Structure 1
Amino acid sequence: MLISIITSTYNSASFLADALESFKEQSYAEKELVLVDGGSTDETLQIIEKSAIVGKMISEQDGGIYDALNKGVKLASGDIIGILHSDDMFYNAEVLNNVAEAFKANPHLDAVYGDLLYVERDNTDKVVRNWKSGSYDLAKLAYGWMPPHPALFIKTECFHKYGLYDLQYRSAADYDLILRFLYKYKIETAYLPQVLVKMRVGGISNKTLKNRIRANAEDRAAMKVNGVAFPFLVAALKPLRKIGQYIK
């Protein structure tokens, strides 16, 4: 069972080496790294070349991270697809092995997700937020719950059946894809109760109030198109679910 990990980069020299090293350290042998670069002008390409672990790569201008991820999905050869952002890291060396074992234990599974730790950008040992996903329940998606996108692994065939990231969204294409796959089409999904990814703080949708307002509007649009009832109310509840993640 080949697992394809997609990493998109654009002037990612600051933290990319950590991401690449965390992929390299994975004990699971049947893995490939698909790297999609947006035409970096810093030292990103040199870091990639030095790592010597990239299975497939393109470097060209793109329309943003979701366009890059779509290119990565099309390039991927694996049975399973996961996302590793250029400033994130796998939690330990057994992540891909544990994901593969979950799929092998239940051949009917289409997706597996786990937990995620938000950490400080310059001190990844300091946890800012603990996203403990909890057991899977389809009904929870109708009330603003979602699994963490970087800790979600999906069978490649689901992308072929149900589509790629919708580029009309600037910050909610991952949420739209999760709703489309898990809620609208009800793919078979299971929870792996362990931390899979450490994610540095500073996402694009949360940097300013303006971005957060736009992201909330995109969340409502994704809910509406995927059949979630009362999207305005659910979009208001969605950020409230994060409060407990900050409590140590």
Structure 2
Amino acid sequence: MKLSIIIPAKNEASKIQKCILEVYKQTSSFFEVIVINGGGAKLDTTALQKKFKNLTIITEPDLGVYDAMNKGILLAKGKWLYFMGVDDGFYNINVLKILRSYFNNENVKLLLGNIVYSFNEKDSVFVKKNNGLVKSTWQNKIWIKNCLPHQGMFYHHSIFNQNLYDISYKVLADYAFNLSLWKKKVPVVIIDEIVANCGTEGLSKQYNYSIYEEEIKLKTKASSRLFMPLFFILAMSKFILKKI
């Protein structure tokens, strides 16, 4: 199996089914789909698994989205992993066909592509800029902001052999994990292709103060307490700007 697509979800039966349907429209089928349903969404699991090949659905309580993602990682059979929210979808039906050759490169541990937000008028200007286009970058500015949207990232399974997502972070565990990969200088290939369309209803797009508390905590943990005042000023500046 080349790729495992992990979909964490909660109480969203119609969205889960729509997301699964869209994934299976891909013109290349070298993947499995693992849905971790942590809420009360009533799914006809048997019917879905009969209809779609290599589909696993686990319905049980979890401790949040990153706990669900960790469960998916432990179940995954693919050499590569991709995480998709129920409000997200591949940019077109040929995305995996275009990327297929990259999955055969054993020297690469991260594939980074671009995403586009499916925004609406009420969304922040920070989401709507560049018509919603976000390009993944592998640069020092990761210390300033998360420049790696997870919907544009494909992880080699071996990356998670020693560490999973830290579930003490409720919103930014992926940022903390990606920052650790940057520090380790994990081999990366950047692909100038749009990988996914992304919804804007996720926790990270609500810009609550708790997000910035997590940001200060994770950056300090990844560096030194000496930098905490700097991280505090940076986080508070972003919090104020995004509330304007």
TM tier relative to shorter chain: 0.7 to 0.9
1:195 equivalent in structure 2: 194
Do the aligned partners of 2:114 and 2:195 also contact (CA within 8 Å) in 1? yes
5+ residue gaps, structure 2, are 121-126
Do the aligned partners of 2:113 and 2:192 also contact (CA within 8 Å) in 1? yes
1:225 equivalent in structure 2: 221
Write the distance in 2 (CA, Å) between the matches of 1:117 and 1:232: 33
Q: Deviations over 1:39-81 (max 9, x none)?
A: 42x44x1378447325222111111111100000000000000
| TM-score normalised over the length of structure 1 | 0.80
Do the aligned partners of 1:19 and 1:90 also contact (CA within 8 Å) in 2? no
Secondary structure of the residue aligned to 1:15 is helix
Letter of the structure 2 residue corresponding to residue 154 of structure 1: Y
1:246 equivalent in structure 2: none
Secondary structure of the residue aligned to 1:112 is strand
**Counterparts of 1:136-215 in structure 2 under 5 Å?**
136-137=138-139, 139-161=140-162, 163-181=163-181, 183-207=182-206, 212-215=208-211
Write the distance in 1 (CA, Å) between the matches of 2:74 and 2:48: 25
Write the distance in 1 (CA, Å) between the matches of 2:176 and 2:158: 18
**Counterparts of 1:75-154 in structure 2 under 5 Å?**
75-104=75-104, 106-120=105-119, 128=128, 130-137=132-139, 139-154=140-155
Do the aligned partners of 2:216 and 2:232 also contact (CA within 8 Å) in 1? yes
Measured after TM superposition, the shift of residue 187 of structure 1 is: 0.8
Do the aligned partners of 1:180 and 1:226 also contact (CA within 8 Å) in 2? yes
Q: Deviations over 1:217-244 (max 9, x none)?
A: 101211122227845545665786xx9x
Cα separation, partners in 2 of 1:232 and 1:75, compared to 1, 3 Å: farther
- Matched residues, percent identical? 26
Letter of the structure 2 residue corresponding to residue 200 of structure 1: G
Cα separation, partners in 2 of 1:133 and 1:61, compared to 1, 3 Å: same
Write the distance in 2 (CA, Å) between the matches of 1:108 and 1:222: 28
5+ residue gaps, structure 1, are 122-126, 244-248
Measured after TM superposition, the shift of residue 29 of structure 1 is: 2.2
Secondary structure of the residue aligned to 1:117 is strand
Write the distance in 2 (CA, Å) between the matches of 1:232 and 1:30: 47
Do the aligned partners of 1:18 and 1:88 also contact (CA within 8 Å) in 2? no
Over the residues paired in the alignment, what is the CA RMSD in angstroms? 2.6
Write the distance in 2 (CA, Å) between the matches of 1:48 and 1:119: 31
Letter of the structure 2 residue corresponding to residue 190 of structure 1: V
Letter of the structure 1 residue corresponding to residue 55 of structure 2: G
| TM-score normalised over the length of structure 2 | 0.82
Write the distance in 1 (CA, Å) between the matches of 2:148 and 2:229: 20
